[in-house]
Amino acid sequence: MSALPPDLEAYVEQQLASGQFGSREELTIEAVRLLRDVQEKRRQLKSDVQAALDEADRGLSGPFDLDAIKAELNAEFDAKGIPQ
């Protein structure tokens, strides 16, 4: 593995010292899992947004509450421990 920038190295050391992870490998595995999950969520969100835009273009959509949508996404991220 290549050397991390100092700020990330410090964060890794802090996480290891906290006991949350037993090794760098454990921490790396969790980080890659989270990245994969975030990327998949982003892909799905883009797809969902495009589908909604397509429906709106065809006149098939009604009003929506942007604040409710944000709250729902934030709650989902909080539940999964994804930083916002």
pLDDT recorded at residue 83: 61
pLDDT recorded at residue 77: 83
pLDDT recorded at residue 78: 83
pLDDT recorded at residue 27: 97
Provide the whole-model pTM: 0.62
Do the beta carbons of residue 68 and residue 24 sit within 8 Å? no
pLDDT recorded at residue 62: 75
pLDDT averaged per 10 residues in sequence order, the chain, 84 residues: 86 95 96 96 93 87 83 86 64
| Cα 32 from Cα 46, distance rounded (Å) | 21
